[in-house]
Structure 1
Amino acid sequence: MSTFAKSSKSMAAGASDWLSIAVVYVITFLSMASVTCVVPLLGDIQSYSGATPTALGFSLALFSAPSAILATFGGGAIDRFGARPSLIVSALVALLADPVAYLMPGALGLNVAMVLAGLGFAGISIAAPALIMTTVQGTKCVRAMSVWSTYPCAGYAVGLITGGQLAGTDNWRLTFVAHGVMLVLALLCTPFIAKPTIKGLEAKTTEPSLWSAVRNVKVLRLAIGAGLVAAVAYGTGLVATDALTRLHAIPISRATAILAAANVLSVVGGIAAGILMTRRVPTAYLFMGIVGLCIAAQFLLFQPAMPLGLALFALAGWMGLKGMAIAISMALLPQVVSERVGSGAAAGIVGQVISLMAFAVPPIYFAALERQGWNEYIIYACVGLLVSLLVLPLWRRPSMPSAHSALGAGLE
């Protein structure tokens, strides 16, 4: 085969890989948008059903409940049945939430819809990274995981835009129709998702290897560290709209638009983190600097006396930095995969801890919101981010499976 033919074939394979990753990414962030599109509608749902803010906070927490309960065992099942079919089936389950929320627009319907959406998201959030790790490797895997890790940011933005356009109108329930249509379109693209080709990281994981993943210290450290980063990011996203409206008298429609636009910076931050990690930038020191700047941004964002311009600057900085922090924590996932710890099992444990923390976040953050305890959010961020810096497996040279040996260079 000529050099030109080999080069053309390599380019085609690379384009196919990124198309597959793009479809997986879109399905993941649309699944996340199932809960974020509800945030602008909370006032409408409260007026319709008479539910209290605390009750609605519990409804949102139900989205994380399936992952919090089932993710570890779900990871073992995904290793056994395959990441690709598991992703597609999970997306179909997530799709069921939209007609339920539309037909039952009260608090009960929201509870049922959030459980269905959470079940789908539980499978998607485990199958997606497992699929990426078994279809690409080396520096491409680092960058793919960094891009994929920005799904909460993209999902948050898409959800806010979708729900914010109809919030406060008589047609607010059409939000669920719009979200359902987007998810159907993404499902129509699933034939472009690549089949796993990297052996030793997927499927045929047995029960003993699942339990060895549970007992693996590096997996648990990664789960706790990534969970704390995600919890702070999730909580800040839930109350940032109220912070702008209550502290700076910005209308809710404008506040949601600002947050949706700012979330683009999170995606940029995640991509930037992936590039830096593959260029031998010391990840531990990079993460340390990000944590310090994140804490400063939280202080500026939630201080009542802060001028609006400075608060918006802090919000923009926070969005970019938290995108980098999430990307770094999730890009560490391939390094904890081994012959005894399958990609699905590792992703399941990390996903379960993230979801357990996320389940606790809405009640905690909404309770502080009712007290207008803005300083509490700064404390939550300081504690969560500093602990994540200590526990994440950042400080030693990672030992990798051979399939991902090139990944180690980017994480030293």
Structure 2
Amino acid sequence: MQSVVLRDESQRPWREDARVMGLVGVAHASSHFSHLLLPLMFPVFVQEFGWRYAELGMLSSLFFVISGLGQAGAGFVVDRWGARPVLLTSMALYILACLQAYAAQSYAGLMVVAVLAGLGNAPFHPVNFTILNQRVSTPRLGYAFSVHGVSGNLGWALAPVFFSVCAAWWGWRHAFLAASVLYALILVLLLIHRQHLVTIPAPVASSPSMRERGSGQGSALAILRMPVVWWCFLFFLLSTVTLAVVQNFAVPILNALHGISLEQASMTLTAYMLLGAVGILIGGFLAARFAQVTDRVVALCMVAAALLMALCASGWLGPQATLWLLALTGFAVGIGGPSRDLMIKKGTPKEATGRVYGLVYSGLDVGFALSPLVFGLFMDQGWYTATLLGAALVLFISAGVALGVGQRSVPH
């Protein structure tokens, strides 16, 4: 096996770091794009196949269950074999998922799509953060995490435009075929620049740095005994619960509480995502400037977002101001994004990056899966204000958990 030697940080020019950031950013955008492969076509499936939204919603749950379970284990694969082969395999799975969607004739066929896409999505956080942590200079990691976060938001923003245009021109099946071509082009791009995606496989045995964090005896599963890992997991679960509320229920809540049209409410959701991307860009500079207190930066951003969402729930400032407050909530959360990723890095042993990121970021999938189940019951009861207040409360609790992560992190 050919050995891989990464260049010393002091020798890495900006151009090399920027290339790695760009490649990882494109990959991350394709991951977020996959979250909406099926949901964007739900209205079409209702008309064409007569399925209920409850049945179709199970497809999204299946996607995130597969992704969450796979992500927790994918980190071990990344640490054992390196990030590049796992990343390329994920892109191939996306292509297969889109081709399966193009050919699907039954609900079972779409379940296969959800499984394939969920498996493809599973490794992205351990893959991406392993590449960034090994290939990007430490002083530039704040900017790298900022690019990573922005690219994810852009993937979410691109998917509705892509599928609506392609479906209008060629029909929904050919929209999925076009998506498979898009993923194939991304795969070719990654293959062309594959030398910039190489990472060094990590040893399975625990090292002194892991033992300092309370990991105990040496094994690949030692990270499960590290308290900071579970605090990080809990933070991601809680913060994602609120994001899932916004994505799933913000439009009907604004319509029900304030009589805002569905079109205008949908534009507010778009503004939430776009302002989130702007916040992530600004947050990258804050993360680089305040790298030693990332947990406090994250906590302040979560508290600010919680207060804004509580104001949205109150409706005190009227319908139009509520729209802006909701959009600004995305901005506040976005600012904390790069500091959040650096906060996780501070609590992660260098030799277990893939394993820790895989387990910690599976909290995202758990949050996405649980939130609609809990707050969907609120919505069915017409408790729209309580839904927003509940989401605000969860964000506030996540701020305390972020401070808990900081207290349990040990400098490398």
Q: Scaled by the length of structure 2, what TM-score is found?
A: 0.83
Tell me which residue corresponds to 1:316. 327
Equivalent pair of 2:20/2:197 in contact (CA under 8 Å): no
Question: Distance in 1 between the 2:277 and 2:194 partners?
Answer: 22
**CA 1:308–1:162: 2 relative to 1, 3 Å:** farther
Equivalent of residue 250 in structure 2, options 237, 240, 246: 240
Identity across the alignment (%): 21
Equivalent pair of 2:142/2:339 in contact (CA under 8 Å): no
Tell me which residue corresponds to 1:359. 369
| Superposition map of 1:243-322 within 5 A | 243-247=253-257, 252=262, 255-280=265-290, 282-302=293-313, 307-322=318-333
The offset of 1:81, in angstroms, is 0.6
The amino acid that maps onto 1:192 is H
Tell me which residue corresponds to 1:407. none
Q: Supply the RMSD in Å over aligned alpha carbons.
A: 3.1
Equivalent pair of 2:236/2:361 in contact (CA under 8 Å): no
Question: Distance in 2 between the 1:152 and 1:114 partners?
Answer: 19
Equivalent pair of 1:87/1:124 in contact (CA under 8 Å): yes
**CA 1:186–1:196: 2 relative to 1, 3 Å:** closer
**CA 1:236–1:102: 2 relative to 1, 3 Å:** same
Tell me which residue corresponds to 2:25. 25
Question: Distance in 2 between the 1:305 and 1:82 partners?
Answer: 52
Tell me which residue corresponds to 2:4. none
Decide which moves more: 57-66 or 226-235. 226-235
Tell me which residue corresponds to 2:193. 192
The amino acid that maps onto 1:28 is H
The offset of 1:176, in angstroms, is 2.0
The offset of 1:87, in angstroms, is 0.9
The offset of 1:83, in angstroms, is 0.7
The offset of 1:301, in angstroms, is 4.1
Question: Distance in 2 between the 1:261 and 1:183 partners?
Answer: 26
Question: Distance in 2 between the 1:107 and 1:383 partners?
Answer: 37
Equivalent of residue 230 in structure 1, options 233, 240, 249: 240
The offset of 1:257, in angstroms, is 4.8
Between the two structures, name the one with larger relative contact order (CA 8 Å, sep ≥ 6).
1
**CA 1:52–1:302: 2 relative to 1, 3 Å:** farther
**CA 1:52–1:364: 2 relative to 1, 3 Å:** farther
Question: Distance in 2 between the 1:277 and 1:12 partners?
Answer: 20
Equivalent pair of 2:302/2:398 in contact (CA under 8 Å): no
Tell me which residue corresponds to 1:215. 225
Say whether residues 1:77 and 2:77 are aligned partners.
yes
Equivalent pair of 2:245/2:375 in contact (CA under 8 Å): yes
Decide which moves more: 239-248 or 259-268. 239-248
Q: Scaled by the length of structure 1, what TM-score is found?
A: 0.83
Tell me which residue corresponds to 2:53. 53
- Stretches of structure 2 that go unaligned for 5 or more consecutive residues are 1-8, 207-217
The amino acid that maps onto 1:184 is A
**CA 1:327–1:10: 2 relative to 1, 3 Å:** closer
Decide which moves more: 375-384 or 345-354. 375-384
Decide which moves more: 222-231 or 259-268. 259-268
CA offsets 1:193-215 (integer angstroms, 9 cap, x no match): 5546786xx42334944211111
CA offsets 1:302-339 (integer angstroms, 9 cap, x no match): 56787432122123202212222333322222212225
The amino acid that maps onto 1:315 is L
Equivalent pair of 2:141/2:288 in contact (CA under 8 Å): no
Equivalent of residue 328 in structure 1, options 339, 345, 348: 339
The offset of 1:347, in angstroms, is 0.9
Equivalent pair of 2:278/2:334 in contact (CA under 8 Å): yes
Question: Distance in 2 between the 1:117 and 1:110 partners?
Answer: 10
Tell me which residue corresponds to 2:388. 378
Question: Distance in 2 between the 1:249 and 1:38 partners?
Answer: 28
Equivalent pair of 2:286/2:339 in contact (CA under 8 Å): no
**CA 1:37–1:276: 2 relative to 1, 3 Å:** same
Decide which moves more: 76-85 or 270-279. 270-279
Equivalent pair of 2:142/2:284 in contact (CA under 8 Å): yes
| Superposition map of 1:123-134 within 5 A | 123-134=123-134
Question: Distance in 2 between the 1:305 and 1:130 partners?
Answer: 45
Q: Which SS does the other structure have where 1:62 is aligned?
A: helix
Question: Distance in 1 between the 2:399 and 2:112 partners?
Answer: 36
Question: Distance in 1 between the 2:280 and 2:136 partners?
Answer: 18
The offset of 1:65, in angstroms, is 1.3
The amino acid that maps onto 1:260 is T
Equivalent pair of 2:276/2:330 in contact (CA under 8 Å): yes
Aligned length: 390
**CA 1:194–1:299: 2 relative to 1, 3 Å:** farther
The amino acid that maps onto 2:338 is A
Equivalent pair of 2:91/2:120 in contact (CA under 8 Å): yes
Equivalent pair of 1:287/1:328 in contact (CA under 8 Å): yes
